[in-house]
Amino acid sequence: MRLLRQAFGLVLTAWVLLACQVVSRTPTPAPAPTLVPARTQPVEPTGEPTAYSLPTDMPPVLPNLTPTAVPSRIATDVCAGPSEVGLGQMSLAFVAAWDGDNDVYVIGGDGVGRRVFIQTEADEFGAAWSPDGKRLAYLAGQFDPIGPIDLRLFLSPAEGEVGIALAPELRVARPDLVWSPDGQWIAFPAEAVALGIVEISTRRAHTFSWIFGPELISWSADSERLIFAAVIAPRTVYYQLVGVDRDGEDIYEYSLDLGSIKSIAWHPYEERILYTSTLESIGTEVYVMDLDGSDVQRLTTTGGFDGLDKGDAEWSPDGARTAYKTVNWFQPDPAVDVRVPHHTLHVMNADGSGDLEIVAAPDDVGHAVNEFEWAPDGRHIAYASTRFSGKERGPSDLHVVDVCTGEDLLIAQDVLTYMLSWKPLP
């Protein structure tokens, strides 16, 4: 699904570039965005990329974005010694159709102990562990990216019993479930392009509607706020950053100068936002900024239109590192104008230093990293990898890679790539 969202975002961005005059910008430093209330027209840059101004009647920071105290942790170097947690002590939930329909499976990080976890008469389309590891939320029903969609949200105890329905009156638009860090709420893209938030204790939900979206939902560390990407017409036809309080009373939009948003991740313990976006003359890169839109730092500098665009980016569990994938296109046959994905997976420090490719793309075939998820030990990443034979998409396999040694372990074959979810450690 992330591939579909990225492809759609690329089409929208190309449409904008054809319709508007491209503004020449230097690749560095990154544009310094500002947070502004909703307005009827886009904010237009004046002067150099770092010289943006706001009308005098618009405060640069909204009152509701005052930083909130959250727990702080000092990141430790997980690569300084042997792993404190064995792969076999961690487990991962995923979806496969090995018996003819989609079911939720659980497998050890070392590939041992695979078992079916949720198996119903309906198809399952993704699962997500609660932060305490005692419950598993999952989606069941019917889903076709270009056809009928009838997904409902269920909650199962950790033993794997068939779950109870949460907010059964609501349909989920896409396989995407995001638990709040306190484990009391689940956010998801609801039907009618709305953001759905369900309270676990009452099983009741409320929704907020936007023109197109939401996508890429991420919670704050205090579970009080969310940030996501949405298309707010008529101001833009590409995804911009939008924030909302959990109760929906305060909604705010970030400056359009951030570009077309491809991924979003709120820092686990700080008021920092990791995001990937496309700017006109820079291409798609990874950035980090403060919650109020200030102190923007561009973390990757080797891509752009002359190199590799960047895809999804995620914080490590301790916030000390980030992982991201590169997005390029490979032409298997020079005589045939058909291109397939050519992805790699990278890890770097939170400040952009120490960038290391940990999953390389084969030279002679297409290769897509569809989903990836940090393990709770902060040392391993699970990812679903799809290879292409010519232009034909092959099956997807599930791997676990050690970010310190580069050791890559194949743990399951022919899986579905809707969602991956590690069970939190006790």
Q: In this predicted structure, what is the pLDDT of residue 318?
A: 92
Name the DSSP class of 318.
Answer: T
Question: Which residue matches tokens 């947690």?
Answer: 85
Q: Contact at 8 Å (CB) between 140 and 119? A: no
Q: Contact at 8 Å (CB) between 397 and 408? A: no
Q: In this predicted structure, what is the pLDDT of residue 22?
A: 29
Percent of the chain with pLDDT strictly greater than 90: 25
Q: In this predicted structure, what is the pLDDT of residue 77?
A: 79
Say whether pTM exceeds 0.85. no
Residue 60 CB neighbours (<10 A): 12
Q: What is the enclosing helix (H) or strand (E) of 344?
A: strand 340-349
Confidence of residue 147 (pLDDT cuts 50, 70, 90): low
Residue 112 CB neighbours (<10 A): 11
Q: In this predicted structure, what is the pLDDT of residue 146?
A: 55
Q: In this predicted structure, what is the pLDDT of residue 76?
A: 52
Q: In this predicted structure, what is the pLDDT of residue 56?
A: 29
Between CA 284 and CA 301 the distance in angstroms is 10
Q: Contact at 8 Å (CB) between 73 and 67? A: no
Do the bridges between strand 194-199 and strand 204-209 make them parallel or antiparallel, or are there none, so unpaired? antiparallel
Q: Does pLDDT of 310 surpass 50?
A: yes
* Residue range 384-408: mean pLDDT, rounded: 84
Residue spans of alpha helices (H) in 25-132: none
Higher-confidence residue of 12 and 261: namely 261
What radius of gyration, in Å, describes the C-alpha atoms of the chain?
Answer: 21
Strand partners, 399: 383, 410
**What token pair was written down for 240?**
């911009």
Q: What is the pLDDT of residues 42-71, one digit of tens each?
A: 223 222 222 222 222 322 333 333 333 333
Q: In this predicted structure, what is the pLDDT of residue 317?
A: 93
Q: What is the pLDDT of residues 263-304, one digit of tens each?
A: 899 999 999 999 988 887 777 889 999 988 889 899 987 654
Residue 46 CB neighbours (<10 A): 8
Question: Which residue matches tokens 């798609």?
Answer: 284
Arithmetic mean of pLDDT over the chain: 74
Q: What is the pLDDT of residues 9-38, one digit of tens each?
A: 443 344 333 333 323 333 334 333 333 333
Q: Does pLDDT of 325 surpass 60?
A: yes
